[in-house]
Amino acid sequence: MAGAAGSDDREAHLTTRPPLPAVGAAGERGEPSVSDVRAPRYELADVQPGYVIIEREMHSKAARSYFSVEPVPPKEPYREGSQVWSFWEMAQSFRFSVRDNQTGDVVKFDELLGLLYYACCDTDSDLYRIGELALGNKISIYVAITYEAPDGSRLNISLDKLAILNRAFNERLRTADKKILILPDYFGLYKELSYGQIMLDFGLTAMEQKADSPR
């Protein structure tokens, strides 16, 4: 995430996240579910548990994040030129790929930090209004937020990869006529969200776990 995302004064722009919808129940409001007996074309592969590590620069207060598989992430300050970076906070997460069971192709999603549900955003935001409109048509909107490169710029996720991610999660839906739409971050959300709020509201792990659970 960009350094600006760590500022505490931006938490006021967010609402408390409702109970995280499962894949198969994203955005549902009590409708009955049905089991999908078809074998999915796409499935998660190479799942690697680990941590999202968030660091803060001592002087500028800029923040950045990265994925680590270490069970005890490094917490010692270190210097990069005139900057001094130190551990700020962390959260459990995982890194994964998506396998196409028809072709055998495996697509990595190492750049993906998590998926943010639209309702976690400010109710006056364009995304929230779009999300409410979509929900009325049984479509739940999520936004894919990525990590940043070492220079602080955002890592891009291609539309082709987002199409695969959408297909992978929608194939796992267990409720009739429901859809999930995962969008790229054209809204600049990474600039508005604090890291603390992101760690609370990102639902990638919970979505996958609930998708596989009996209903």
Give the Cα separation of 152 and 173 in Å (integer). Answer: 35
Buried (b) or exposed (e) across 111-148, using 16+ Cβ within 10 A?
Answer: bbbbbbbbbbbeeebebbebbeebbeeebbbbbbbbbb
User: Does 54 have pLDDT greater than 90?
Assistant: no
Alpha helices in 82-148 (DSSP H): 126-135
Dihedral (CA of 92, 93, 95, 99) sign? positive
Percent of the chain with pLDDT over 70: 69
- Per the structure, the complete domain to which residue 156 belongs is given by 7-48+95-212
pTM for the model stands at: 0.69
Q: How far is C-alpha 53 from the geometric centre of its chain's CA atoms?
A: 15
Q: How confident is the model at residue 42 (pLDDT cuts 50, 70, 90)?
A: very high
How would you list the strands of the sheet with 112-117, edge to edge?
Answer: 112-117, 139-146, 179-184
pLDDT at 188: 81
Q: Which amino acid is at 99?
A: R
Comparing 67 with 200, the larger pLDDT belongs to: 67
Instruction: Quickly state the pLDDT bin for 24 (edges 50, 70, 90).
Output: very low
- pLDDT-based confidence at residue 18 (cuts at 50, 70, 90): very low
Predicted local confidence at residue 69, as pLDDT: 86
DSSP assignment letter at 136: T
Cβ proximity of 211 and 174 under 8 Å: yes
Give the pLDDT of residue 197: 54
pLDDT interval class at 172 (50, 70, 90): confident
Tell which phi-psi region holds residue 188, choosing left (phi > 0), alpha (psi between -120 and 50) or beta: left
Instruction: With cut-offs at 50, 70 and 90, classify the pLDDT of residue 130.
Output: very high
One-letter amino acid identity for 167?
R
- Is 148 domain-assigned? yes
Please determine, for residue 28, whether its predicted confidence score (pLDDT) is greater than 90.
no
Is 185 part of any domain? Answer: yes
List of long-range contacts for 123-126, beta carbons under 8 Å, 24+ apart = 123/15, 125/187, 126/187
Residue whose structure tokens are 């409109």: 133
Lowest model confidence (mean pLDDT) among 49-53, 164-168, 191-195: 191-195
- 61: in domain: no
**The pair of three-digit structure tokens given for residue 4, joined into one six-digit string:** 């600006």
Q: How confident is the model at residue 211 (pLDDT cuts 50, 70, 90)?
A: very low
Joined tokens for residue 148? 């940043």
Judge whether residue 209 has pLDDT over 70: no
What's the structural domain count of the chain? Answer: 1
Kindly state whether residue 146 falls inside one of the protein's structural domains: yes
Per the domain annotation, does 59 fall within a domain?
no
Instruction: Evaluate whether 190 touches 2 at the Cβ level (below 8 Å).
Output: yes
Tell me how crowded residue 5 is: count the other CB atoms within 10 A of its CB.
23
Quick check: is 90 in a domain?
A: no
pLDDT value of position 196: 53
Residue 123 is assigned to a structural domain of this protein: yes
Residue 4: is its pLDDT beyond 60?
no
Query: Is residue 192 helix, strand or coil?
Result: helix
Largest CA distance in the chain: 58
